[in-house]
Amino acid sequence: MDLLAVLKALGDETRYSMYEELSGSTRGLTAAELADRLGLHANTVRLHLERLREANLVTVEPVHRGNVGRPQHVYSLAAGAPGLGFDPPSHTLLSVLLATLAERVGADGMEAVAAGRSWGVETGKRTRSKSCVKALAGELERLGFDPVTSTRGNEIAFSRCPFRELAEAFPELVCNLHRGICEGVVESVGGGRVEEFATLYDRDPCRVTVAVELS
């Protein structure tokens, strides 16, 4: 499996969400089923599935269900594809290999921020919250950071870090990737900006502070 192709394929929020659905499904899914689950147009889903197929992450099988006409195309994870948490050893190994690959091709902290911001912007577009702080806290909760919002309402501390082992091994890449995610969500929702981002280097604790714009 081409790790660089995997990195590019799963670096898109929509493709990652589709891949996550396939990872957790006990059977193959059609483009229409994925579209219904994710609230997307079926044609959009098909384009992203093709990218995942090109990266050897999914396979497609034509299935006749007794109806006259063209068969349905059913998508499943390819053999050997990472399980994104459903197969923890493979997930951990893939994360380490991708981080190692990123370092070897010369990726730095600024590029990690940019990659995370791109992800965060797409995520922010899907939130229903009009508050950038609440939207960010919700996304951090979904990712497993157990966020705690301060009484002032603009500082979010991370009670735990689901990326901790990886962050300790690759702090510049992983912490800046996380910062980028936070910046992207806030930027996408609007009404504020990330003013401070304390990482493993600070240990007091890891947290993000959002400067909220007054209306």
Per-residue pLDDT, 68? 59
Residue with the bigger pLDDT between 72 and 182: it is 182
Query: Is residue 97 in a domain?
Result: no
In angstroms, rounded to a whole number, what is the distance separating the alpha carbons of residues 122 and 117?
9
- Binned at pLDDT 50, 70 and 90, residue 87 comes out as very low
Give the CATH number of the domain where residue 59 resides: 1.10.10.10
Query: Percent of the chain having pLDDT more than 70?
Result: 88
Same domain, yes or no: 73 and 114: no
Query: Is residue 198 in a domain?
Result: yes
> What is the residue range of 15's domain?
3-77
Number of domains the chain contains: 2
Q: Residue 210: beta bridge partners?
A: 194
Same domain, yes or no: 112 and 67: no
Query: Is residue 163 in a domain?
Result: yes
In angstroms, rounded to a whole number, what is the distance separating the alpha carbons of residues 5 and 121?
22
Same domain, yes or no: 72 and 116: no
Query: Is residue 94 in a domain?
Result: no
Residue 184 clears pLDDT 50, i.e. is over it: yes
Q: Which two tokens stand for residue 62?
A: 């034509």
pLDDT for 101-120, tens place per residue?
A: 888 888 899 999 999 999 99
> Lowest-pLDDT range, 24-33, 87-96, 152-161?
87-96
Query: Is residue 134 in a domain?
Result: yes
Query: Is residue 84 in a domain?
Result: no
Same domain, yes or no: 70 and 115: no
Same domain, yes or no: 120 and 57: no
Same domain, yes or no: 72 and 125: no
pLDDT for 16-52, tens place per residue?
A: 889 988 887 777 899 999 999 899 999 999 999 999 9
Per-residue pLDDT, 189? 95
Same domain, yes or no: 44 and 122: no
Per-residue pLDDT, 208? 94
Give the CATH number of the domain where residue 166 resides: 3.30.1380.20
User: What is the rounded average pLDDT of the residues 197-209?
Assistant: 80
Same domain, yes or no: 208 and 116: yes
Among 61-65, 89-93, 162-166, 201-205, which range has the highest average pLDDT? Answer: 162-166
> Lowest-pLDDT range, 68-82, 128-142, 178-192?
68-82
Same domain, yes or no: 25 and 121: no
Residue with the bigger pLDDT between 181 and 5: it is 181
Mean pLDDT of the chain: 85
Same domain, yes or no: 72 and 117: no
Per-residue pLDDT, 86? 45
What sections of the chain are H helices per DSSP?
Answer: 3-10, 13-24, 31-38, 42-54, 88-104, 109-124, 132-143, 164-169, 171-189
Same domain, yes or no: 130 and 71: no
- Binned at pLDDT 50, 70 and 90, residue 88 comes out as very low
Query: Is residue 91 in a domain?
Result: no
Query: Is residue 194 in a domain?
Result: yes
Same domain, yes or no: 71 and 121: no
